[in-house]
Amino acid sequence: MDPEIVLFDEPDSGLDPVRVAYLDELVIDDQRQTGATFFIITHNIASVMRVADYMGVLLRSGLVKFASKEEMRQRTTRSSGSSSPAGPRDRSGGMKWPKRTSTSTPSRTMAVAARS
């Protein structure tokens, strides 16, 4: 098998913190080895921050933000005046997914963190 995209749905559900950390390292290593794009759906924000290059935040069944991990980190550390974990909602509707520009561009790990 040589997948281009690998989907994980709540991969750490029910695991203790030690096994979650092990799983995070396994995901990072496998992504580097396969070069596939990994798409992770999880509620574990700490895991997302360790593993993902890009992340999206769902709130009430809607995608409110999609950005690089660095941009999300900056947004959550600034005082935004919003209760949303990713700062104010992006109402522009112009969310752009990262694109491969060539075959030499490395794949990315993306995650969607759902908050209720």
First to last CA, the chain: 36
The pLDDT profile of the chain, 116 residues, written as one tens digit per residue, is 788 889 999 999 999 999 999 999 999 999 999 889 999 998 888 898 899 999 888 888 888 888 888 888 886 555 444 444 444 444 444 444 445 444 444 456 666 654 43
Domains annotated for the chain, with CATH where assigned, are 5-89+105-115 (3.40.50.300)
Dist. CA 89–CA 31, nearest whole Å: 30
The answer to whether the CB of 54 falls within 8 A of the CB of 66 is yes
CA proximity to 43, closest of 29, 23, 62, 57? 57
pTM to 2 decimal places: 0.64
